[in-house]
Amino acid sequence: MRVAVLLKAVPDLVEELVLDEESGSLQYDEMSYVPSEWDDQALEEALILKEESGAQVTAIAVSTGDVDTMLFTALAKGADHVVKITGDFDASMSNWQQARVLSDYVREQDFDMVLSGVQAIDDVDGQIPGLVAGFLNWPHASVVTEVRMGGDSKVLLRQEYSGGLVAEIEVESPVVIGVQAARKPPRYASVAKVRQVAKSVAIEEVSAGAPAGPAFADIQFVRPVAAGRAEMIEGDVDAVADRIVQILADHNLLRRA
Amino acid sequence: MQKAKAIELEIAVVDGVELNGTWNRMFEPRVISEYDLSVLEEITNIPGAESLGYCYQCGKCTAVCPVDSVGDYSPRKIFRRTQLGISLLDSPDLWLCTTCRNCLRVCPKEVNMIDIMPAVREQAVLEGKAPAELLTAFENTARYGNPIGESARKRADWTKTAGVPVPVMSQKKAPVDVLWFVECYPAYHPRGKEASAALARIFAALGVDFGILGTEEKCAGDSQRMAGERGLFEMLAEHNIKMLSKYRFNEIVVTDPHAYNAFLHEYPKLGGEWPVRHYTQFLAEKLAGVNFVKGIKKRITFHDPCYLGRHNGEYEAPRSLLRALPDVELVEMGHCKQTSYCCGGGGGGMWLDGFTRDYASERLSERRVKEAVEYGAEILAVSCPYEVPRFEDAVKSTGHDGQIQVMDIAELMAYCMGLNEGLAIS
Amino acid sequence: MGPILIVTESTASGITDSTKECVGKAKELAKVLGTSTVALGFGPGAVDRLRRLDVNKVIAAEDGEFAVYNPAVCENALVQVVAETAPFLTMIPNTTMGLDLGAGLAGRNNIPLIAYCSDLQEQDGKITAVSQVFAGKLLARVPVPGDGAIVTVLPGSWPTGEETGDPVVETISGDYSSRMRVIRVIEPEKGDVDITKADILVSVGRGIESPDNLPLADELAEAMGGVVSCSRPVVDAGWLPKARQVGKSGQTVKPKLYLACGISGAPEHLQGMRDADLIIAVNTDEEASIMEAAHFGTTVDMLDLMPALAERLRGG
Ligand SMILES: Cc1cc2nc3c(=O)[nH]c(=O)nc-3n(C[C@H](O)[C@H](O)[C@H](O)COP(=O)(O)OP(=O)(O)OC[C@H]3O[C@@H](n4cnc5c(N)ncnc54)[C@H](O)[C@@H]3O)c2cc1C
Ligand code: SF4
Ligand code: SF4
């Protein structure tokens, strides 16, 4: 069983998102990037699968910036192989374009399963696993919390719905899976190990042509009204309770009562 | 905790002589014990952990280990459990030691937890056996250069509240006398920032020619090393050494005893050798030139940080500063200087609060606050950035809010110099 | 211009609120754009469930293979419906279903997708979608292209539409089968509450004073449809289990609402909750640091406020 795990880096929310307020464009060069947390979950689930059933795990990232550390970390954690898809790409590359490039690569290879984070904080134009599945025309399930091997190239999944319901799904490979959470918290790769891997193993580089333009040319970003210090609610207990109910109503948080 | 027993033999053969229970019988046959030492050997084979095997069970360490006073723990017990086949790699014991160094002071066999703990922990981290809380601190440090997970770009933001210019080396572009290595909690924790601002004002008032690295600084990494992430420590050290090497200065002054320890003993091994002093040492020498304008009519006691005191032998500098403050009555607690208690934050303890709770009847910081109160102290003075948050939290959790305040020596000193009007001494 | 297609979702208790929100918005937009609305529903009984929706047309896929929700089968049907009806907008609630179908449809039919949509605004016949990204730190304003788009819509974006329609009903059937099979749908056994998964947290700190007051928090949480979490002293005292602790040495949570009652907001606590969408702090001390992190604050006594709030929410 060959498993591909698609990884991507996203802007780090611990640092400021750098926005040109006038044009509404993100200043991609001025931001720091971290691996998307859901992709970490997808990698962990793939590694658990490897431990359980000897799957071969390949971690793949599009070179939208410095993705090497992310790939070396994947190796240090236990991935068998890492691939960086290079081309005329940068951090502003849309998900749609990344998914195109990734699906072109996956199609040529002989993968049985593709895992990736069910979502990422920056996917304005769709989630990577769904788009890749669509481009490949493979079946796809999102919000998955467990992936196991069944018999005869079958894969068993658990998919979660709101309200805590869970579906057990069986699917014949190949398949694309959007991972919500791995069965265990993502493992830690010690710095020494990552550095040692970086010295001794090479990342396979595959070059790709520029994909067709992004789906949307002119996305504008704006900051929602800033929070700052709390707005104080005045009045006695009854007045405050009434106001809080109103606030909950404004935020659509009431109906579940 | 897991219970284990020795193997009981019916007959033992020692040097060809058969021994059974009868010949050494007193009132009943004595049990002949045998041990499978493979687990112990697995541990003592780890480079750095050899000395665990030297233990001869005298129990001196048990009497002084702070963790034993709130739980069931000490080098003697660790040796015994390992001898009985419980691997330290899998035992919660591995994460409870704060590397306070009190046991090493008394151990006749020099069983050295300061070497054993980081060595065995490193192995456990590799095997994926470290508590999640600790790993979060490691990940934060690797990513942001501080264990708290705060923005690396905001490392120098505290300087805006100092009220005096705090020169950043990359902008100053001139040699300085003192390179102040600020460290993480003093740069990010709200109470740490207050102490940093106070220290900056003292430096300015004393006319110290100083600069900081600002965003070029990363955690010195010593506690991460003690907690088992040597690779992370090395990465941080290489970074800091590279940054420091860009500038010219006469000495490094550190806020943090853990950084002091690293600069004194570890950075030189990696090529970073500079004269270094803790800020209390630096200020103690300058006392003659200090103009105090106000007193503090309070009983103050001082908590020796493990990494300034026992690890590096400095007990006097902080005390000389406190004694110099007008009107202060300095009282010593029972556990002080060489026998000082531990705040619980060292050796990674700062990032294991949730884990440790399951194995301790109370926090070490809580014990220490109770002791300070017992000795009638109204102010608990500290000189390690881990301690203000730990002890303030413990003051509240032991119900002593309003009875005792926790303050960094820099805050107290700045107050008496008329540089800390904001400080509310109640 | 093609119609506006809404992919509906239902649970055991009927059509979901987020579906109804989409229906309401779709009707409003269809009116200004001069087009019609179509609702697509899956599963046995879909016709009955959808026939009162306020749309022009209902398409129902009721065949056996829709007996339980199967992402791949539904996607096959949706791909075909979209190919045939050529909608200008396809609206899908951003639930598991939306995450399954939205991007899959986009990739297969080569239609652009706007994810995490929280509003659709019309001006001069042009539609702009507002999408919540970067964990709510930014809003993206995306102009919907002339050829249309797919939008996956965050629940709670609009008021729910009314069920007063009389649509034309069409059922479809065909071969939508897939290599994917749903074995069963289960309700997993409940362990202790997982506070990291709750949308609403009523979090109590030392201000709760005594375990005797905890029922006040439980009742409020229940009335809000949330869960009780706490700061560390409450766990230290043994009043709540460790799994409920928020903070540096506890859990990191990102609920939609964090109601902090009697919590001072120590940095170790803030580390675990500062990314919540909405933070309301109840603390008698106006100077408490929690007020720096909160969106709204009040200084009334939590022990009075909790029952007062619970009463209103139960009544409402
Ligand atoms: C290493 C370390 C790790 C830690 N990890 C965590 C952690 O994971 N999580 C955590 O929470 N803490 C943690 N702490 C503890 C933290 O420092 C604080 O001590 C703790 O969060 C305080 O909890 P609190 O806000 O409930 O209590 P307090 O700080 O005592 O605050 C109680 C608040 O309630 C208000 N109040 C009192 N009565 C009322 C009333 N009737 N109505 C309304 N308001 C009222 C008061 O004004 C006060 O602000 C950690 C500390 C350390 C040192
Ligand atoms: S003091 Fe040293 S020799 Fe004695 S029991 Fe402790 S570790 Fe062993
Ligand atoms: S170093 Fe301190 S905490 Fe660790 S075993 Fe020795 S006395 Fe105990």
CATH of B290-416 given 3.30.70.560, 3.20.20.140, 3.10.129.10, 3.40.50.10700: 3.40.50.10700
Average pLDDT over residues B399-410: 96
- Say yes or no: B42 contacts chain C, CB-CB below 8 A: no
Q: Please choose from B223, B342, B366, B396 the residue to mutate so as to test ligand 1's pocket, defined by most ligand atoms within 8 A of CB.
A: B396
What are the tokens at A112? 């049985």
Closest-lying ligand to the alpha carbon of B62?
2
- Say yes or no: B234 contacts chain A, CB-CB below 8 A: yes
Q: What rounded mean pLDDT belongs to chain A?
A: 93
Query: According to the model, what pLDDT value does residue A85 have?
Result: 98
Query: According to the model, what pLDDT value does residue A211 have?
Result: 85
Quote the crossing angle between the two packed helices A95-108 and C96-109, to the nearest 10°.
Answer: 70
What are the tokens at C91? 């609206």
- pLDDT category of residue B30 using cuts at 50, 70 and 90: low
Q: How far is C250 from chain B (nearest CA, A)?
A: 7
Query: Shortest CA distance to B317 belongs to which of B260, B247, B373, B374?
Result: B260
Look at residue B2 and tell me whether its pLDDT is greater than 60: no
* Rounded Cα distance, B289 and B382, in Å: 23
| Integer CA distances (angstroms), B333 to A99, B412, B426, in order | 65, 19, 21
Range of weakest confidence among A10-19, A215-224, B210-219, B395-404: A215-224
- Say yes or no: B399 contacts chain C, CB-CB below 8 A: no
Name residue A2's beta-bridge partners.
Answer: A56
State the best of A237, A238, A242, A243 to mutate against chain C, taking most chain C CBs within 10 Å: A237
Mark yes or no for CB contact C249/B354 under 8 Å.
yes
Look at residue B23 and tell me whether its pLDDT is greater than 60: no
Three-class SS of residue B22? Answer: coil
Interval between CA B126 and ligand 1 midpoint (Å): 35
Could you tell me the fold of the domain covering B132-284? Answer: Rossmann fold (3.40.50)
Give the pLDDT confidence of A210-243 residue by residue, as tens digits.
Answer: 888 777 878 999 988 765 678 999 999 999 999 9
Atom of ligand 1 nearest to the CA of C299: 43
Pocket of ligand 2 (CB under 6 A): B 55-61, 75-76, 79, 106-109, 111
Average pLDDT over residues A10-35: 93
Look at residue A256 and tell me whether its pLDDT is greater than 50: no
Look at residue A206 and tell me whether its pLDDT is greater than 70: yes
Which residue puts its alpha carbon closest to atom 3 of ligand 2? B55
Could you tell me the fold of the domain covering A2-207? Answer: Rossmann fold (3.40.50)
Q: Do the beta carbons of residue C143 and residue C128 sit within 8 Å?
A: yes
Residue ranges of chain C with pLDDT lower than 70? Answer: 190, 316
Give the pLDDT confidence of A95-123 residue by residue, as tens digits.
Answer: 999 999 999 999 999 899 999 999 999 99
State the best of B158, B361, B397 to mutate against chain C, taking most chain C CBs within 10 Å: B397
Q: Is C247 in the pocket of ligand 1 (CB under 6 A)?
A: yes
Which residue puts its alpha carbon closest to atom 4 of ligand 3? B97
Reported as type and span, the H/E element at residue B13 is strand B11-14
- Say yes or no: C200 contacts chain A, CB-CB below 8 A: yes
Reported as type and span, the H/E element at residue B170 is helix B169-172
Q: What rounded mean pLDDT belongs to chain B?
A: 94
Look at residue A257 and tell me whether its pLDDT is greater than 50: no
Give the pLDDT confidence of B147-200 residue by residue, as tens digits.
Answer: 999 999 999 999 999 999 999 999 998 999 999 999 999 999 999 999 999 999
Q: Do the beta carbons of residue B226 and residue B346 sit within 8 Å?
A: yes
* Rounded Cα distance, C122 and C120, in Å: 7
* Rounded Cα distance, B245 and B260, in Å: 17
Domain boundaries, chain A: 2-207
Atom of ligand 3 nearest to the CA of B75: 5
If you search the block for the tokens 């909950």, which residue do you land on? A248
Q: Is C264 in the pocket of ligand 1 (CB under 6 A)?
A: yes
Q: What is the ipTM of this complex?
A: 0.91
Mark yes or no for CB contact A190/B232 under 8 Å.
yes
- Say yes or no: C179 contacts chain A, CB-CB below 8 A: yes
Chains that touch B (3 or more CB pairs under 8 A): A, C
Q: Is C245 in the pocket of ligand 1 (CB under 6 A)?
A: yes
Which residue puts its alpha carbon closest to atom 4 of ligand 2? B58
Query: According to the model, what pLDDT value does residue B32 have?
Result: 73
Name residue B276's beta-bridge partners.
Answer: B252
The CA-CA-CA angle for residues B215, B216, B217, to 5°, reads 90
Domains B132-284 and B290-416 share a fold: yes
- Say yes or no: C274 contacts chain B, CB-CB below 8 A: no
Counting every residue written for chain C, the total comes to: 316
Interval between CA B389 and ligand 1 midpoint (Å): 12
Average pLDDT over residues B104-128: 96
- Say yes or no: C287 contacts chain A, CB-CB below 8 A: no
* Rounded Cα distance, B295 and B274, in Å: 36
Give the pLDDT confidence of B54-64 residue by residue, as tens digits.
Answer: 999 999 999 99
Alpha helices in chain A (DSSP H): 37-53, 68-77, 95-108, 128-136, 191-200, 237-250
Mark yes or no for CB contact C96/A127 under 8 Å.
no
Mark yes or no for CB contact A130/C11 under 8 Å.
no
Range of weakest confidence among A194-208, B412-426, C28-42: B412-426
What are the tokens at A17? 């998102």
Query: According to the model, what pLDDT value does residue A217 have?
Result: 77
Between positions 182 and 241 of A, the ones with CB within 8 A of B are: 185, 187-188, 190-195
Average pLDDT over residues A64-84: 97
The size of the A-C interface in CB pairs under 8 A is 256
Alpha helices in chain C (DSSP H): 17-33, 46-50, 71-85, 96-109, 214-224, 232-236, 267-270, 290-293, 302-315
- Say yes or no: B353 contacts chain C, CB-CB below 8 A: yes
Secondary structure, 3-state, B67-79 = CHHHCCCCHHHHH
Q: Is C259 in the pocket of ligand 1 (CB under 6 A)?
A: no
Q: What percent of chain B has pLDDT over 90?
A: 89
Q: Do the beta carbons of residue C188 and residue C275 sit within 8 Å?
A: no
Q: How far apart are the first and last CA of chain B?
A: 44
Q: Please choose from C204, C212, C268, C270 the residue to mutate so as to test ligand 1's pocket, defined by most ligand atoms within 8 A of CB.
A: C268
Query: According to the model, what pLDDT value does residue C121 have?
Result: 96
- pLDDT category of residue B20 using cuts at 50, 70 and 90: low
Query: Shortest CA distance to A185 belongs to which of C97, B139, B233, B146?
Result: B139
Closest-lying ligand to the alpha carbon of C266?
1
CA atoms lying within 13 Å on the CB side of residue C61: 27
Give the pLDDT confidence of B253-305 residue by residue, as tens digits.
Answer: 999 999 999 999 999 999 999 999 999 999 999 999 999 999 999 999 999 99
Mark yes or no for CB contact C69/A167 under 8 Å.
yes
Query: According to the model, what pLDDT value does residue B12 have?
Result: 75
Closest-lying ligand to the alpha carbon of B58?
2
Mark yes or no for CB contact B126/A185 under 8 Å.
no
Nearest to B353 among C206, C249, C267 (CB): C249
Query: According to the model, what pLDDT value does residue B22 have?
Result: 57
Which residue puts its alpha carbon closest to atom 2 of ligand 3? B100
Range of weakest confidence among A199-213, B1-15, B35-49, C5-19: B1-15
Range of weakest confidence among A96-105, A139-148, A242-251, B93-102: A242-251
| Integer CA distances (angstroms), B146 to A70, A194, B139, B142, in order | 19, 19, 9, 8
Task: Name every chain A residue with its beta carbon within 8 A of the beta carbon of C179.
Answer: 139, 171-172, 175
Q: Is C288 in the pocket of ligand 1 (CB under 6 A)?
A: yes
Q: Do the beta carbons of residue B272 and residue B244 sit within 8 Å?
A: yes
Reported as type and span, the H/E element at residue B185 is helix B184-188
Task: Name every chain A residue with its beta carbon within 8 A of the beta carbon of B138.
Answer: 188, 191
Give the pLDDT confidence of C213-230 residue by residue, as tens digits.
Answer: 999 999 999 999 999 999
- Beta-carbon contacts of C311 under 8 Å, excluding residues fewer than 6 positions away, are none
Between positions 163 and 222 of A, the ones with CB within 8 A of C are: 163-172, 175, 178, 215-216, 218-222
Domain boundaries, chain B: 38-126, 132-284, 290-416
- pLDDT category of residue B25 using cuts at 50, 70 and 90: low
Query: According to the model, what pLDDT value does residue A213 have?
Result: 72
Give the pLDDT confidence of B364-386 residue by residue, as tens digits.
Answer: 999 999 999 999 999 999 999 99
- Beta-carbon contacts of B384 under 8 Å, excluding residues fewer than 6 positions away, are B256, B257, B258, B305, B307, B308, B343, B345
| Integer CA distances (angstroms), B61 to B32, B77, B99, B103, in order | 27, 9, 13, 5
What are the tokens at C187? 């309700």
Atom of ligand 1 nearest to the CA of B396: 30
Look at residue B419 and tell me whether its pLDDT is greater than 90: yes
Mark yes or no for CB contact C141/A143 under 8 Å.
no
| Closest-approach residue (CA) in chain C for B350 | C249
Count the Cβ atoms, other than its own, within 10 Å of residue A109.
13
